[in-house]
């Protein structure tokens, strides 16, 4: 059942990608609109410095399926508050079925968002632990929550968007889609070990692990197991056994 949902949504992403040269994150936004009872979707992908001098994050690419979504993305960055920033702070999604009722929560964001015609907003952080990649923000022009099935689909789509942002960063399209939600926690442990080996950020460590998996043809989980077992170390010169 889980695999079916993920497979179906992933197939839709792949199909959309073949059709045109669209950005995958933009495609995920469009899929959100098609699959969920929402009016529009937007995403902000934080810009990253790959050489990493302290994970300087800036405003990166913004995707939006409609002008209201674009306005919402702009608004959060302008007033520096809103569901997307709260989602990063809490680590989980921020789900607001009736935005007008939450005026006290975001005094700057809420009135302006309502003026744009937004009645409900649902923000999902795009992140891998401490690696912050961006956010996926959905909105609707009428109040009401997402259904359970919609929530499950939204979480899967946010996961796919996260995966695609990472793939965009390193250029490796790893077909194995299980690595993000994998209960094999070694991947995250290995990222922590490799970042300490390299004196780099978690993000750089994650990219190096993926690059090693890609070039060696091993599954990411296997590479991670070797790192955690202290059988594989990463250095600035290369990966060493």
- Map residue 185 onto helix, strand or coil: coil
Q: Looking only at residues 116 through 135 of this chain, which bind another protein when binding is defined by CB under 8 A?
A: 125, 127-130
Q: Which stretch binds another protein (CB under 8 A): 27-35, 41-49, 104-112, 177-185?
A: 177-185
Q: How far apart are CA 9 and CA 205, in angstroms?
A: 28
Nearer to another protein, 17 or 184 (CB): 184
Supply the DSSP string of 82-107, one letter for each residue.
SHHHHHHHHSS-EEES-GGGGTTT-T
**60 phi, psi to nearest 5 deg:** -110, -140
Select from 77, 183, 180 the least CA-distant residue to 134. 77
Q: Pick the binder of another protein from 155, 174, 177, 218 (CB under 8 A).
A: 155
Q: Please give the angle made by the CA atoms of 131, 208 and 189, to the nearest 5 degrees.
A: 60
Q: Pick the binder of another protein from 40, 71, 93, 134 (CB under 8 A).
A: 93
Q: What is the closest distance, in whole angstroms, from the C-beta atom of residue 67 to another protein in the complex?
A: 27
Q: Please give the size of the binding site for another protein, defined by CB under 8 A.
A: 42
Q: How far apart are CA 146 and CA 24, in angstroms?
A: 23
Q: How far apart are CA 107 and CA 121, in angstroms?
A: 15
Q: Looking only at residues 8 through 37 of this chain, which bind another protein when binding is defined by CB under 8 A?
A: none
Q: How far apart are CA 4 and CA 213, in angstroms?
A: 26
Nearer to another protein, 44 or 202 (CB): 202
Q: What is the closest distance, in whole angstroms, from the C-beta atom of residue 1 to another protein in the complex?
A: 5
Q: Pick the binder of another protein from 29, 166, 194, 232 (CB under 8 A).
A: 194
Q: Which stretch binds another protein (CB under 8 A): 25-33, 104-112, 167-175, 184-192?
A: 184-192
The reply to whether 90 sits near another protein by the rule CB under 8 A is yes
Q: How far apart are CA 75 and CA 181, in angstroms?
A: 31
Q: Pick the binder of another protein from 119, 138, 190, 204 (CB under 8 A).
A: 190
Do residues 10 and 167 make contact, with C-beta atoms less than 8 angstroms apart?
no
Q: How far apart are CA 172 and CA 149, in angstroms?
A: 31
Q: What is the closest distance, in whole angstroms, from the C-beta atom of residue 50 to another protein in the complex?
A: 17
Q: Pick the binder of another protein from 95, 116, 167, 177 (CB under 8 A).
A: 95
Interface residues with another protein (CB under 8 A) are 1-2, 5-6, 55, 90-97, 125, 127-130, 145, 148, 151-152, 155-156, 159, 181, 183-185, 188-197, 201-202, 228
């Amino acid at each position: 059942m889980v695999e079916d949902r993920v497979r179906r949504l992933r197939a839709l992403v792949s199909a959309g990608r073949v059709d045109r040269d669209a950005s995958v994150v933009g495609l995920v936004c469009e899929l959100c609109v098609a699959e969920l009872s929402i009016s529009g979707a937007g995403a902000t992908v934080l810009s990253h410095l790959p050489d990493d001098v302290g994970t300087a994050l800036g405003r990166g690419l913004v995707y939006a399926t409609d002008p209201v979504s674009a306005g919402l993305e702009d608004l959060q960055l302008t007033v520096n508050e809103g569901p997307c920033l709260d989602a990063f702070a809490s680590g989980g999604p921020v789900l607001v079925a009736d935005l007008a009722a939450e005026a006290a929560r975001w005094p700057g964001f809420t009135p302006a968002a309502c003026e744009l015609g937004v009645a409900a907003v649902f923000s999902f952080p795009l992140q891998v632990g401490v690696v912050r990649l961006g956010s996926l923000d959905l909105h609707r022009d009428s109040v009401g929550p997402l259904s359970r099935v919609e929530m499950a689909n939204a979480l899967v789509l946010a996961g796919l968007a996260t995966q695609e942002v990472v793939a965009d960063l390193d250029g490796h399209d790893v077909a194995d889609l299980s690595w993000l939600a994998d209960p094999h926690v070694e991947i995250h442990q290995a990222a922590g070990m490799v970042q300490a080996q390299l004196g780099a950020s978690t993000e750089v460590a994650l990219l190096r692990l993926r690059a090693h998996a890609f070039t060696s043809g091993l599954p990411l989980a296997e590479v991670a197991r070797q790192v955690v077992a202290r059988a594989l170390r990463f250095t600035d010169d290369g990966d060493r056994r």
